[in-house]
Structure 1
């Protein structure tokens, strides 16, 4: 399995994240990637290459053009306004306000396009996000050309980014773009299977009214876990997308048994839907020692999850998402890939 990865991810390294009422070093940091790369090499999965340049055409089919312009220019606007630190949202449109009117001043514009203030923008964020996108797109091209599977070692991650908002460490929804690319290449129906601990609210947002992309997410119950305001089991899609959105929220302390049952149910529904290509949002923060999650999966469980996913027999792109137990993120990520390959 080939891995696509760009060194440009290092250009995005915010120095602060607001969590628990204090500023800390972000959990989503460059060293996460180093642990994954090292583990890939240790396990003999050393076919690691740089991606081609990003293609914005499929991105523009999914994302709001004003949002894309914002991501590209936010840092320069922020600095031009005399701001001294990193770009962090200070306020967002709440109930009773106008969520449809974008301010002209950059401080207001940031809040308009952001849904979680733990996520900062730096001078290198846009280039890093494009490099992450490029890795996902190159992985899709590899699979579209005949490979059974490919791994996009994306950083920053993507599944919390909606059609017009960033947050949850995410700026461009890589998995959604890959799904769109499979559709553009002729796949009649595509599935995005999100096994990250946190609900893939961005992916749900993008495809909620579409029948051609089935979205299934296994995640912490939003009553207890970020992103809190989306990810309930009764969110099934709307219009043409009715029934094509599958949420599996689970409670604190969930071990692998119930988690695997949810995975099997999602796999069965993907199989029954006649899906022709699969995108896996590969987060490994369901791990028992993850600092910002509450499931209890062991490292060996991720290998079994990979084997179960392989049972679909579909052309598959894995896009890296979360996983913040830094010293275990490489083991757990590669376990999924090895389980898939071993099956």
Structure 2
């Protein structure tokens, strides 16, 4: 299996994270790259650099207004007298109407859902190449590869079409799925991150040409709180094309695998001929967020179950934070997939 990554993805180094009113270092550290690269190599992956497909695949899902914001906001922010080194909003609109603020502070509030997605000097470049890694992975799968792994960092599944959030800026999994769809593939997205993929759901919520399925810790008491409930099924043409499978906190391997079977059945019934896996490794029992309780062997079982679909598969890295077993969990997932045959 080929693993795709660009060194420019190291440039995003967020310093700020607020939890429970306390400012802390961000869990989404560049060191994740080293751990994940090691895990991919131990799974036998061949590391390659992405090709530059340009802004087209990104702009297919993200508004030009939002792309303009991401590209320019840090430079503008530095012109604020007394401004901090990172773009962090201090105001959010209760509703977003037709009005659009001219100020950098107002636009930050408009385009950043929370304080977990600070924008630094290297954020746009890192996010751009993270997206290109996903695009290259999609192109490999479309060209006939059984599977590929895109080491996307920063991650993407909390990013909407014009809104960053939860460590995410560009929605890599959604961009990859759209790229596969444009190549003639009927594509499903399976999100196994511990957090609901609210941005992915939002992008495709009124569409019937991409299926979105998410297995995650119940958002009643877990981020992102306002999305990810089982009643959210899509709207208009997309009604019935979104499936949320929220789980109780601390759900372990066996119960998780039973729910995964339901998710895979929905993908089969959609008639998918390609699948994008939004691969969060933060469902691990020892992950700092402690939402679910998947073991390292459990990730191998998840990989094997996905392989049972018999579909070309692109793994797109989402969460999974710094702990001793992070790389091991990636190795387990990919080797579990590679060792299984439909």
Q: What is the distance in 2 between the residues matched to 1:22 and 1:326?
A: 21
The offset of 1:43, in angstroms, is 4.0
Q: Deviation string for 1:316-342 (max 9, x for gaps)?
A: 111000011432111111211111100
Pair 225,202 (structure 1): closer, same or farther in 2 beyond 3 Å:
same
Asked if structure 2 preserves the Cα contact closer than 8 Å seen for 1:285 and 1:325, the reply is no
Asked if structure 2 preserves the Cα contact closer than 8 Å seen for 1:6 and 1:135, the reply is yes
SS of the equivalent of 2:277 reads strand
Higher alpha-carbon deviation: 97-106 or 73-82: 97-106
Asked if structure 1 preserves the Cα contact closer than 8 Å seen for 2:17 and 2:26, the reply is yes
What is the aligned partner in structure 2 of residue 26 from structure 1?
26
SS of the equivalent of 2:276 reads strand
Normalised TM-score (structure 1): 0.96
- Alignment partner of 1:146 is 2:144: yes
**Structure 1, unaligned stretches of length 5 or more?**
none
What is the aligned partner in structure 2 of residue 218 from structure 1?
215
Q: What is the distance in 2 between the residues matched to 1:266 and 1:161?
A: 22
The offset of 1:20, in angstroms, is 2.4
What is the aligned partner in structure 2 of residue 88 from structure 1?
88
Q: What is the distance in 2 between the residues matched to 1:98 and 1:194?
A: 27
Q: What is the distance in 2 between the residues matched to 1:323 and 1:103?
A: 35
Asked if structure 2 preserves the Cα contact closer than 8 Å seen for 1:54 and 1:131, the reply is no
Higher alpha-carbon deviation: 56-65 or 286-295: 56-65
Q: What is the distance in 1 between the residues matched to 2:111 and 2:47?
A: 34
- Alignment partner of 1:177 is 2:167: no
Q: Deviation string for 1:98-130 (max 9, x for gaps)?
A: 544221110111000011112200000000001
Higher alpha-carbon deviation: 165-174 or 287-296: 287-296
- Taking only aligned residues, the RMSD between alpha carbons, in angstroms, comes to 1.2
The offset of 1:42, in angstroms, is 3.3
What is the aligned partner in structure 2 of residue 61 from structure 1?
60
Q: Which of 128, 131, 134 does residue 130 from structure 1 map onto?
A: 128
What is the aligned partner in structure 1 of residue 235 from structure 2?
238
What is the aligned partner in structure 1 of residue 36 from structure 2?
36
SS of the equivalent of 1:73 reads helix
Q: What is the distance in 2 between the residues matched to 1:309 and 1:25?
A: 34
The offset of 1:166, in angstroms, is 0.1
The offset of 1:237, in angstroms, is 0.5
Map residues 244-255 of structure 1 onto 2, 5 A cutoff: 244-255=241-252
Q: What is the distance in 2 between the residues matched to 1:43 and 1:273?
A: 30
Q: What is the distance in 2 between the residues matched to 1:98 and 1:269?
A: 33
Q: What is the distance in 2 between the residues matched to 1:48 and 1:27?
A: 25
The offset of 1:76, in angstroms, is 0.8
Q: What is the distance in 2 between the residues matched to 1:157 and 1:125?
A: 12
What is the aligned partner in structure 2 of residue 160 from structure 1?
158
SS of the equivalent of 1:327 reads coil
Q: What is the distance in 2 between the residues matched to 1:330 and 1:153?
A: 12
Q: What is the distance in 2 between the residues matched to 1:99 and 1:25?
A: 33
The offset of 1:63, in angstroms, is 1.4
SS of the equivalent of 2:315 reads strand
Pair 98,300 (structure 1): closer, same or farther in 2 beyond 3 Å:
closer
Asked if structure 2 preserves the Cα contact closer than 8 Å seen for 1:11 and 1:125, the reply is yes
**Structure 2, unaligned stretches of length 5 or more?**
none
The offset of 1:4, in angstroms, is 0.3
Q: What is the distance in 1 between the residues matched to 2:235 and 2:157?
A: 20
Normalised TM-score (structure 2): 0.96
What is the aligned partner in structure 2 of residue 268 from structure 1?
265
The offset of 1:244, in angstroms, is 0.5
Residues matched between the structures, number: 339
SS of the equivalent of 2:250 reads coil
What is the aligned partner in structure 2 of residue 14 from structure 1?
14
Asked if structure 2 preserves the Cα contact closer than 8 Å seen for 1:91 and 1:108, the reply is yes
Pair 125,334 (structure 1): closer, same or farther in 2 beyond 3 Å:
same
